[in-house]
Amino acid sequence: MLFGLLILSACRLLAPSPTPDPTAPASGPSTSRPSPTPSDTTAPTATATVTRSPSTLTPSGPAPDYDEALRRSFRDDDEQLPNATRYDLDLTLDIEEAAVSGHERLLYTNAETVPLEALYLRLFPNSPSYGGAMTVTNLTLNGQPVVAVEELEGSALRVDLEPALAPEEQVELSLDFSLALPTDQHPAGSREPGGGYRQLGYYDETVALANAYPIVPVYDDGWNVELAPSHGDAVFSDVAFFDVTITGPAEMVLAASGTCTSSLEDGETDTWACVAAPMRDFNAVLRDDYRVESEDVDDVTVKSVFYAEHEEGGERALDYATDAVRLFNARIGAYPFSELDVVETPTLAGGIEYPGLVVINTSYYEGGSQRMEWVVVHEVLHQWWYSMVGNDQVDEPWLDEALTQYCTLLYYEDKYGEDVASRLLESVFREPYRQLEETGNDKPAGLPVSAYNSGEYGTIVYQKGPLYFHELREEVGEEVFWEILEQYFEQNRYRIATPEDWLAAVEGVAGEAYLDLYETWIGNQ
Ligand SMILES: [Zn+2]
């Protein structure tokens, strides 16, 4: 019964209208407390004395064993990335205050070919679409106090480096931060209502900690620091190593990127120790009544984490996720991590992808929703296109979104056959794009998120974009198309891929005769 589906849901857009009910009983914690005070990072810039090249983070406990986060046959992967940033995070959740206090130490290596005169940190909770409030204090650079400069409405901190950081040199940053989470209830004017897609916050008794720590952005021809449009994904980051400790109420169940172990400290609080690598972000979600079902695929433990009352939905999510992992492990390349979590949350997106963890809108878990399969598979396939093969989600969103959408169709074709897939191709991609064309508002699919309004973004990137991959498959043939996907994956795993990298895979496997298709669908026509 897959026909007639209105399958439009994808990450970060087109949620199935789970409109908050303003008459619903209050369920969140009180958030009436003083507004966050301005950070001491807003003071005029001062230059730190830079002591060069600490080779490792100063030990604060046992060395993290990142191998635990990797499948047995991929445990050398972390050793191939000696220049990846190392994060050491301690997060303490105060559930009554809907707040997180954190300590972060990070070791950053200049992996570029040019000296860096500054290092940036992104404070995404301060972005208008997140609705949180993050304040950084006690910032040190190689052990010396340093003052950073706030930019972009407090969502970026610039740490000047004098002298500039030479290629291959390292710096160690240390800082404390406090994070006020947006919630169901909030005093007028103190926080943004809604918090965008509710990727971050304390809503419906669920704590979601997406991008809840200062993140180093990507440097390519400069630092990628910008305020992303609220209708697209905001984070653009390199793979890194995460050693994370989270302390929170003992009654809560935690799901997080990577692999975590729990040690009950006392009757009231629990501490989870998590390692994740090489991953380009870290996310954690907590809730009292989460239930967990899991299944091993190859040696990946796929976990479905769902509200206790949604057992049927939770089991379906697990089935869809394991089917997707099994297919793409075999056809594209292996998911290298030990664990993948599929987590029900009150996000207002259909679903959102993070490395090692995807969140799925709670409304799909009720009433046997047929949309759930598309959304779960789409988000799971982002582990290949976004998590493992990274891309600039802000400026080149088609590279992960359109490819993920088309690969979702390939999943349906593999599982349900060609007739089902061809009907979905028509209803999910062709027909909505045809309707857009009739309005005269067609645009290339390869533009930045900012070039589209939210409606155009959905139709052009998520519905027109996949048609490029379909046309390419029609022209090169089934076998060659899968080979292109394999090549693109293998050549760009743990890297940031660009459209040129995609075209290199196409040309390398199929020859240059097919490059014109790119101009027709993706490039500027
Ligand atoms: Zn997506």
CA 53 – ligand 1 centroid, Å: 39
Residue at a domain's end among 248, 280, 312: 280
CA 483 – ligand 1 centroid, Å: 22
- Regarding whether 408 and 263 lie in a shared domain, the answer is no
Single-letter amino acid code for the residue at 43: A
Instruction: Output the domain CATH number for residue 391.
Output: 1.10.390.10
CA 351 – ligand 1 centroid, Å: 8
Distances (CA, A) of 328 to 29, 370, 447, 485: 41, 22, 27, 10
- Regarding whether 330 and 202 lie in a shared domain, the answer is no
Tell me, yes or no, whether 228 lies in a domain: yes
CA 403 – ligand 1 centroid, Å: 9
Residue at a domain's end among 227, 254, 280: 280
Tell me, yes or no, whether 55 lies in a domain: no
What does the buried/exposed string (b/e) look like for 231-247 if buried means 16 or more CB atoms within 10 Å of the residue's CB? bbbbbbbbbbbbbbbbb
Residue 401: name the closest of 429, 423, 443, 421 by CA. Answer: 429
CA 235 – ligand 1 centroid, Å: 13
423 DSSP assignment? H
Tell me, yes or no, whether 138 lies in a domain: yes
Predicted local distance difference test score (pLDDT) of residue 128: 86
Beta strand 290-297 with 170-180 is: unpaired
* pLDDT profile of the chain (525 residues), mean per 10: 33 35 27 31 34 46 84 89 96 97 98 97 94 96 97 97 97 98 65 68 96 98 93 94 96 97 83 96 98 97 98 98 98 97 96 98 94 98 98 97 98 98 98 95 95 94 98 96 98 97 96 87 78
Q: In what order do the strands lie in the sheet with 284-287?
A: 200-203, 206-209, 284-287, 253-256
Domain with 112 in it? 71-280
CA 398 – ligand 1 centroid, Å: 10
Predicted local distance difference test score (pLDDT) of residue 60: 55
Q: What is the pTM of this model?
A: 0.89
Tell me, yes or no, whether 456 lies in a domain: yes
What is the C-alpha separation between 101 and 181, in angstroms, rounded? Answer: 11
- Regarding whether 266 and 310 lie in a shared domain, the answer is no
Predicted local distance difference test score (pLDDT) of residue 61: 61
Backbone angles phi, psi at 191, to 5 degrees: -140, 155
- Regarding whether 376 and 244 lie in a shared domain, the answer is no
CA 353 – ligand 1 centroid, Å: 7
- Regarding whether 484 and 451 lie in a shared domain, the answer is yes
Report the DSSP beta bridge partners of residue 171.
108
CA 23 – ligand 1 centroid, Å: 32
CA 404 – ligand 1 centroid, Å: 6
Predicted local distance difference test score (pLDDT) of residue 411: 98
Residue at a domain's end among 280, 309, 343: 280
Tell me, yes or no, whether 24 lies in a domain: yes
CA 231 – ligand 1 centroid, Å: 12
For residues 327 and 414, the answer to whether their CB atoms sit within 8 Å is: yes
The first and second tokens of residue 326, run together, are 């099994």
- Regarding whether 386 and 270 lie in a shared domain, the answer is no
| Residue 254 DSSP SS3 | strand
- In the chain, the number of structural domains is 2
CA 355 – ligand 1 centroid, Å: 13
- Regarding whether 271 and 345 lie in a shared domain, the answer is no
Predicted local distance difference test score (pLDDT) of residue 5: 32
What does the buried/exposed string (b/e) look like for 443-464 if buried means 16 or more CB atoms within 10 Å of the residue's CB? bbbbbbbebbeeebbbbbbbbb
- Regarding whether 241 and 299 lie in a shared domain, the answer is no
- Measure CA of the first residue to CA of the last residue in the chain; give whole Å: 38
